[in-house]
Every structure is written in C-alpha cells, then in structure tokens.
Amino acid sequence: MKITIQTNKNLRKKADFLILSFSYTSKKTKPLFKGDSFKSIIKEPINTKDFLGKAKDISLVYSSKNKEKRVLLLGLGSEKELNEYNLCEAYASAISFLKNKKASSVNIIIPNIDMEKDVLVKGVVEAIYLANYNFDKYKFVTKKNLFSIKEVCLIGLEKRDNHLVKKASIISQGVNLTRDLVNTNADDETPQTLAKLAKDFEKISNKVKVEVFDKKRIEKENMNLLLAVNKGSNKDPVFIIVKYKGDPSSKDSSVIIGKGITYDTGGLSLKPSTSMDTMKSDMSGGASILGSIYAIIKLNLKVNVTAIVPATENAIGPKSYKPGDVYVSACNRSVEVKNTDAEGRLILAEALSYASHKIKPNRVIDLASLTGACVVALGEEISALFSNDRTLAKQLIKASNKTGDHLWRLPLFPEYKKLLKSEIADISNVGGRGAGTITAALFLQEFVDKVSWAHIDIAGPAFKSTLSALHPTYATGAGVRLLVNFFENLK
C-alpha cells in the first residue's frame, strides 16, 4: 500500500472515497476541515442529525460533482478527549469500512485539531496500516473475499511531514510482521525460521549483529531449562540474540526478551484440546520482540538494544521432560518442574539470567504470553506489568497510554514467594491455584539478579478471540507500538 501527501486539497487526484472528519463536543457537530467546498455534501446528514460525529460514527454520502463520488463522514467524538489512541481507533473503523466496500484509493483530509503534528500523523497512518492488514497465507478459494486499500493520499500535510508518515509506516510494518509470525502455523514458523528472520536483520543496517545459539551451543552454555522444554520436540531449540548499537557513544543499553514457544501442547501435563487450539500464538512475546527490534533498526533510533528470543516447541512425545523432574539452570539454580505446561518461565529464566549476568544492561524488559490466569484477571485488552523499578514502570505506563497497548501494574508481592518452595530443588516452577500471574512473575524475578527489570504478560491482548477494526485478525502485534514508543522516549 502506498501513502502520499498532497498539501493543496484542490490539487488532489481522483479517488474512490474521501474521508472527512468531525468532532462532537457539547452536542455540537463540527467539521474538522477548513473551507466551504463540502458544504452541500454535509448539510443534510448534519441537519437531520443522522450523523452526529460521535467517536467512530460513520455516514456515507454521495456526490456526483466531487472528485470522489463517495464521501465518508467520520466522527472523532469530543475534541477534549481526543488522543493518539482513540484517533487511531476512529480512523481504523473508517478504513475497515472502506476495505469492505472494496475501496482501492482513498483521500483523507487531515483533521484540523489541537494535536501535535507527529501524534496526529502517527494515529492516522497506523490506523491505515493496521486496519488494512489481511492474513491470506492460508486462504485459497476465499482469497477473493479479502480486500485491501492500495493507495491513500493524506491531504493538508506539508512535504516536510513525509518523515512522520515514514516513521509511522515503519512502526506499523513492525506490528504487521509480528502478526504474520503469530498467525502462521507452528510447523511453518519454527525456531529455525525465526532465527533466519532475525539473521536477515543484519542486512538492514551495519549497526546490527545477530548471533544464533544452536542446540550444541545451548548445551555448552548449560541452558538446561531451555533444553528440558525442548526434549519432546522434533525441532532443535534456538537462542536468538540481535544486537543493535544505535548509539555507540553511550554506555546505556537495554535488553528486550520474548517468549518463543512456537507451539505449547503443555507437554506431559497436556492441555485440554479447547485450551490448545490457540497455542501457536505462544511465541507472541518473541514475535513482538522481533517486530520491535525490526522497527527500532529501521527507524535508526539512537539507542543500544539487544533483543533475545529463546525459542522451542513444548511438544509431547517419548522424550518429553516429565512432571516431577529437577533441572539445573545455567546460573546454577535447580528447578522442580511440577507442571510441564509452565514452560515459558523456564526458557525465560535462562534468557533473563543470560542478560543480567553476561550482558549486564541498564534495564531488561520481557514480553510473554505467560499465564492463562492473566487473561482471567485482565481480559483481552490489558497486559499485566510487573517491575522492580518504579521509574521503568512509569516510563512503560506512559508509553502504554500513548499507544493503546494497555498495561496494568500488578505487585511482585514477596509473601507469595513461599508458594514456589520446593522440597527437593531450589524452586518449583508453579505456585498453586491462586495469583498465578504473580507467582509466574516472582519465579522470573529469581533469575534477574539486581538489574532493573520489567515483565509484561501479554497472554490476553496478543491473540484475541474477538476481532475489531484495528485488529482484523486474531494476532494483534501487542507490545510492538509500546516498546518502540518506550525507546523513542528513552532519555
């Protein structure tokens, strides 16, 4: 899809549709564009109150005299409540509507509102890319029912705003890359294909170095918890490390880690089939980390970030690791595996201790579809945030409020550590029925040492059961916009 800019609305090219936006404040409908050229088109829908301009209100009107024969009136709601996030949601509903109308080209008059230019452009452009997304890899006969807009012209922006469009396009590409990875079959998207994708990031910039630990190297590193989870699988594990040095003059560095379980059967603690059918998405943390680092590299951000993805299937078979077994991690901590379905924390433990002992960054952030309990507690719209550092938590919540990747902070309640006690090992990998999301986070904390750390459980938002305009497929790419925004604002 192509997005162009036209400063003068009178010089715009013909298109299938035009989008005009309106606000609705104190029961008044207000056009958010200058001039009288559309007066006759908008008069009746507003006078009849058929169209009010409330957030996501949509009306389609027809005009034979216009450069676009069909004009979509879009409501942005109250001007006071407008932010990047709900602006993006409103435009997504318009794009989704036009996509279903088989629109090929769309002109959008950029709303004249009290919002910073970069925020405004970001909201609109991300809406275009994210709502226009289709996943057609496995569509054959019904492929013809999927439509996407080919060309969008943003009217009213200056030539110099082009870099803002480009920036938002890159972030959206990162989100859509993540969605593709998560939507793909586990046998088509394996630890090995993830490693190959990461390796190719070296081609984007010479500031990138990628290292992939294969099974032999993982054995040499004594990452026995990752090897244990891998035992039942017919595919080797990988430990992917993407190093991006965007600011060589600075000593500040971050590590981002993502859970890369390419399929989670639960292992011998087998999942019931109704809980298993979404489990190709259990690498969504890893996919978000790869989508984020891709965008960070392409944006050429002035930060030093290392992305780590430990990846394996949690399969079931004669070689599977067994409930009750004890394994010793690379950092010499023994773990009693009471439940082989609590495998994410095992592979993350190796990555967290590798990051804090070998890389020693200023901060570590991990993303994981870690617990079903998190979906019960916070649903599909909110991810759980844990952190041992108030500043880091605050920065992440700020990024969350800006991007709509919603976070809610939960406590690393130390009294619950006793729930992870094991009679025969240093720690157990499960903590009983209560507070499952918290005990999972407390388990991870045992492996982070003293480094500033945040853990984000994306089990709900990463792969939704209900679709929306902004998220037209199950995989949402949750976490990418959050992390990119976080690193854009890291000072």
Q: Where are the beta strands (DSSP E) in 253-303?
A: 254-258, 260-264
Select the binding partner of residue 372 from ligand BES, Zn ion, none (C-beta < 5 to 8 A, by kind). Answer: ligand BES
Closer to ligand BES by CB, 33 or 372: give it.
372
Nearest-angstrom CA–CA distance, 486 and 420: 32
What's the one-letter identity of residue 175? V
Q: Which of 282, 284, 204 is nearest to 244 (CA)?
A: 204
CB 231 within 8 A of CB 299: no
Q: Would you count residue 373 as binding ligand BES (CB under 6 A)?
A: yes
Query: Which one of 98, 198, 375, 384 is in contact with ligand BES (CB under 6 A)?
Result: 375
Count of helix runs (H) and strand runs (E) in the chain: 14, 19
* 148 binds, options ligand BES, Zn ion, none, Cβ within 5 to 8 A by partner type: none
Q: How far is CA 249 from CA 253, 255, 355, 467, 490, in A?
A: 11, 18, 21, 44, 15
Cα–Cα dist 366/259, whole Å: 8
Q: How many residues of this chain bind Zn ion (CB under 5 A)? A: 2
The binder of Zn ion chosen from 341, 366, 405, 446 (CB under 5 A): 341
Question: Is 68 an interacting residue with respect to Zn ion (CB under 5 A)?
Answer: no
Position 459 contacts ligand BES (CB under 6 A): yes
Does residue 236 bind Zn ion (CB under 5 A)?
Answer: no
Taken in order 354, 356, 359, 365, the sign of the CA dihedral is positive
Distance of CA 448 to the CA centre of its chain: 23
Taking the CA atoms of 439, 444, 446 and 451 in sequence, report the sign of the dihedral they define.
Answer: negative
Of 246-265, binders to ligand BES (CB under 6 A) are 264
User: Smallest gap, in angstroms, from Cβ of residue 232 to Zn ion?
Assistant: 12
> Containing H/E element for 3?
strand 2-6
H helices present in 132-283, as ranges: 162-183, 191-199, 215-220, 224-230, 273-276
Instruction: Check binding of 283 to ligand BES (CB under 6 A).
Output: no
Total of residues contacting ligand BES (CB under 6 A): 16
Q: Considering only residues 148-187, where is the footprint of ligand BES by CB under 6 A?
A: none
Q: Are 447 and 347 in contact (CB under 8 A)?
A: no
**Stretches 177-185, 223-231, 259-267, 430-438: which one binds Zn ion (CB under 5 A)?**
259-267
Which residues, listed in sequence order, are joined to residue 383 by a DSSP beta bridge?
407
Residue from 29, 59, 369, 476 binding ligand BES (CB under 6 A): 369
Least distance (Å) between residue 373 CB and ligand BES: 6
Report the residue closest to ligand BES, judged by CB.
372
Cα gap 28→269, rounded to integer Å = 59
Q: Which of 68, 180, 264, 336 binds Zn ion (CB under 5 A)?
A: 264
Which does residue 176 bind out of Zn ion, ligand BES, none, counting CB within 5 to 8 angstroms by kind? Answer: none
Determine if 457 is a binding residue for Zn ion (CB under 5 A).
no
Among candidates 119, 106, 129, which has minimal Cα distance to 161? 119
Selected from 126, 341, 366, 405, the binder of ligand BES by CB under 6 A is 341
Task: Name which of 56 and 417 has its Cβ closer to ligand BES.
Answer: 417
Do the beta carbons of residue 127 and residue 173 sit within 8 Å?
no
Nearer to ligand BES, 133 or 263 (CB): 263
Instruction: Annotate each residue in 428-447 with x if it binds ligand BES (CB under 6 A) or - if it does not, as one string.
Output: --x-----x-----------
Contact footprint for Zn ion (CB under 5 A): 264, 341
Contact footprint for ligand BES (CB under 6 A): 264, 282, 339, 341-344, 369-373, 375, 430, 436, 459
